[in-house]
Amino acid sequence: MDYPAFLDIPALQGVAGRVRLPGSKSISNRVLLLAALSEGSTEIRGLLHSDDTRVMLDALRRLGCTVQTPDADRLCLGGLGASPPPPHTGAPVKLFLGNAGTAMRPLAAALALRGGHYELSGVARMHERPIGDLVQALQQLGCAIEYLGTPGFPPLRIRQDAAAPLALDRAIRVRGDVSSQFLTALLMALPQRAQQRELSIEVVGELISKPYIDITLALLERFGIALRRDGYRRFTILAGSRYHSPGVLQVEADASSASYFIAAGAIAASDTGQKGLKIEGVGLTSIQGDIRFIDAARAMGAKITGDAHSLQVRRGRWPLKAISLDCNHIPDAAMTLAAMALYAEGTTELTNIASWRVKETDRIAAMAAELGRLGAHCEAGEDYLRITPPGDAAHWRAASIRTYDDHRMAMCLSLAAFNPAGLPLRILEPGCVAKTFPGYFDALLGVAQTAAERIPVICIDGPTASGKGTLAAAVAARLGYHLLDSGALYRLTALSAAQHGVGPQAANEAVLAELAASLPVRFDATRVWLAGQDVSEAIRTEQIGMQASQVSQLPLVRSALVALQHGFRRLPGLVADGRDMGTVIFPQAPLKIYLTASAQCRAERRHKQLISKGISTTIADLRADLEARDARDMQRQSAPLKPAEDALLLDSSELTIDETVDRVLGWWQARQPFAH
Ligand SMILES: O=C(O)C1=C[C@@H](OP(=O)(O)O)[C@@H](O)[C@H](O)C1
Ligand SMILES: C=C(OP(=O)(O)O)C(=O)O
């Protein structure tokens, strides 16, 4: 998924409909590793496809696992089972684990206990995220594991002789007050060495994020590993333990990802009687601890119902009620409470969240800074955050939100788009959501509602071959906006007419208008589809171009296409390319460009294009055609080609494409309210 450098979200009002969430990160990466350690193949359904699972899968492939994907929902992983580990004397197997804590920590333990020569590294931030407590526990056992950079942090080298004896006769002690992932890592890795004897782990100090240990235990059980435990203090893996694939395993949708939609349902206005938002894939009986976010959301005012596989959320109490909550059990979803606090009456206090400081970024500092940018007042302590929302609508600010390469910062702060001041919101580097939820913004904007006039439209009109199409596509890509190639609609009407055996002449106006009104059209970034067929090339022939020009003269056809064109005005915004976008279709658009270039220049560009396609023609002929077409477009009765009164004229004769794009983006930026 290509993300722009920033995403501007217009002020949102409601949410409605249903959203199906991607798989749980925590379950996905645990299941992948357990399947890898098992004999035979495991069919995983509903696996999360994101940066964190991609690095895990890449690593497992390098370790020798086979991966097959019979369809989009199923992945079959062939495990390593009893196959021998690589020799510790050979070249290291280098594994890059991005910023995935659920890959780095468990793989470090699993490989140290398996034996072999490995180097584990990640992105720069991963090299600042602690792993010392886990490494110490492994070293205690006699594993040869060392730091390649700063002591206590990745990157790591593991050089372990699989045959060397380990000190397994006493309990392995591990601290759990920095991250529960260290204990999870040991729990998942140790069964490799529990064939002959039972193995115990003792947790030193207070364990944080306990519900993540419950996920680990639940999945170990699915893979046949039996344990004895004393609360969260001591865990004993029984002798004779062996990973046994369950065959097929369904991954629940991610409960942390659900928190953004639960919050949206609680915040967004919905008409009385409306059911609000349905969240599918995860339900009230989830094995993920973050499902307990619903208790906190309810305490703030959300109305939540549900069953085993889905949740239904709507606004209840309004404004929301501030809460004071120990969030240690829901470290990830608790960030969403910070965003909900923007809409609460009073000061919300989130405590026992020291682990926020060592995650994708220092989340306490980052959250305080960005909520402050929106107009809230925050007090950040070593392990707490207090949030007092903007006093009233007048105190909200149009903010440009930094995301610190932290997916949760981007997802949480997007909820500020529901602000009561009706201000748009800018999210910088929105692509960071790819860590756990690549399609997040599409999902949010797919269920969000706002008044059509709040959705910005940039109109790019101009004569034939002026470069409108290229400019519009580039501007849309840079802004993450939808694209309407209105000229293509006329071409599509002409093509559809030809397919139905209807000529483009005025006598057929009524039939042509009927065809136009129900065009089954879909655009994506580079292709055009008509009734599921890729017609990108078919509509570009000179013949269809001439017929398109003819049908575009017919008033009934033009009006049939108006509603279709208005339908393209969808969140977060639209770039509309055509001849009457600014004058007729979107007269209220906040930016209108009239793009021209001299006839000679346009003829030369078109000539170059045609030559590159192997079509021979002369510049003089093309110029004559262009001028004839201009005259026809400018003189037609209905919506003649002319600049809108408030359009900015842009002559691209002397400009490169990049310069033209930058000019338009510069004009657009100048009209945005975001403070820097
Ligand atoms: O085990 C897991 O899947 C996770 C444990 C938690 O980390 P900590 O135990 O470091 O709090 C959580 O924040 C992380 O996103 C996923
Ligand atoms: C802390 C997180 O990730 P990780 O699994 O990398 O620790 C998170 O997803 O919020």
Dmax over CA atoms of the chain, in Å, equals: 93
pLDDT band at 525 (very low <50, low <70, confident <90, very high): low
User: Coil, strand or helix: which one is 275?
Assistant: coil
Per residue in 20-36, pLDDT tens?
999 999 999 999 999 99
Catalytic residue among 8, 133, 332, 461: 332
Say if CB 192 and CB 110 are below 8 A apart. yes
Tally Cβ neighbours within 10 Å of residue 556: 18
Residue 272 scores a pLDDT above 60: no
Instruction: Render pLDDT for 560-594 as a digit per residue (tens, 0 to 9).
Output: 999 899 999 999 999 999 999 999 999 999 999 99
Omega of the bond prior to 154 within 30 degrees of 0, cis? no
The model carries a pTM of 0.95
- Asked if pLDDT for residue 676 goes beyond 80, the answer is no
- CATH of region 453-670, choose from 3.10.20.30, 3.40.50.300, 1.10.10.10, 3.20.20.450: 3.40.50.300
The residue ranking higher by pLDDT, 272 or 278, is: 278
257 lines ligand 2 (CB under 6 A): no
Q: Is 435 annotated as a binding residue?
A: yes
Q: Where are any strands of DSSP class E within 352-429?
A: 377-380, 384-388, 400-401, 425-428
CB atoms within 10 A of CB 478: 17
User: Is any ligand 2 atom within 6 A of the Cβ of residue 180?
Assistant: no
> What pLDDT is recorded for position 464?
86
Predicted confidence (pLDDT) per residue in 119-144, tens digit: 999 999 999 999 999 999 999 999 99
Class of the domain covering 25-250: alpha beta
Confidence of residue 2 (pLDDT cuts 50, 70, 90): confident
What is the position in ligand 2's atom list of the atom closest to the CA of 99? 6
Average pLDDT over every residue of 92-115: 98
- pLDDT given for residue 518 in this prediction: 87
Q: Does the N-terminal peptide bond of residue 87 adopt cis geometry, omega within 30 degrees of 0?
A: no
Residue 417 has pLDDT above 90, yes or no: yes
Domain borders along the chain are 6-22+253-450, 25-250, 453-670
> SS3 string of 552-609?
CCCHHHHHHHHHHHHCCCCCCCEEEEECCHHHHHCCCCCEEEEEECCHHHHHHHHHHH
Q: Which residues of 320-345 are buried (b: 16+ CB within 10 A; e: fewer)?
A: bebbebebbbbbbbbbbbbbbbbbbe
Using most ligand atoms within 8 A of CB, pick from 34, 48, 332 the residue to mutate for ligand 1.
Answer: 332
| Predicted local confidence at residue 271, as pLDDT | 62
Q: Are strands 74-78 and 41-45 parallel, antiparallel or unpaired?
A: antiparallel
Q: Specify the CATH architecture of the domain 6-22+253-450.
A: Alpha-beta prism (3.65)
181 among the known binding-site residues? Answer: yes
Contact 162, 112 (CB under 8 A): no
User: ∠ CA(162), CA(182), CA(434), 5° rounding?
Assistant: 105
179 Cα to the center of ligand 1, angstroms: 7
For 442-480, write each residue's pLDDT tens digit.
999 999 999 999 999 999 999 988 999 999 999 999 999
The per-residue pLDDT for range 146-182, each reduced to its tens digit, is 999 999 999 999 999 999 999 999 999 999 999 999 9
Ligand 2: which residue has its CA nearest to atom 7? 101
> Is 463 one of the annotated binding-site residues?
yes
pLDDT for 249-262, tens place per residue?
999 999 999 999 99
For residue 524, is pLDDT > 80?
no
Distance, C-alpha 562 to centroid of its chain: 32
Is the confidence at residue 632, as pLDDT, over 90? no
Question: How many Cα atoms occupy the beta-carbon half-sphere of 240 within 13 Å?
Answer: 0
Element (H, E) at 27: helix 25-37
273: pLDDT confidence band, cut at 50, 70 and 90? low
With residue 278 as reference, give the H or E element that holds it: strand 277-280
Length of the chain equals 676
Domains 6-22+253-450 and 25-250 share a fold: yes
Is 216 known to sit in a ligand binding site? no
Ligand 1 atom closest to the Cα of residue 184 is: 1
Q: Is the pLDDT of residue 274 over 70?
A: no
332 is catalytic: yes
Average the pLDDT over each of 188-192, 271-275, 417-421 and give the range with the smallest value: 271-275
- Over residues 294-308, mean pLDDT: 98
Instruction: Please tell me the distance between residue 257's alpha carbon and the centre of ligand 2 in angstroms.
Output: 12
pLDDT in tens, 232-252: 999 999 999 999 999 999 999
> Phi/psi at 151 (nearest 5 deg)?
-55, 135
CA dist 577 and 557 (Å) reads: 18
Q: For a pocket test of ligand 1, which of 180, 220, 290 has the largest count of ligand atoms closer than 8 A to its C-beta?
A: 180
Name the region of 298 (left: φ>0; alpha: ψ -120 to 50; beta: rest): alpha
**What is the Cα–Cα distance from 647 to 459, expressed in whole angstroms?**
9
| Mean pLDDT of all residues belonging to the chain | 95
User: What ipTM was predicted for this assembly?
Assistant: 0.99
φ, ψ at 575 (rounded to 5°):
-110, 120
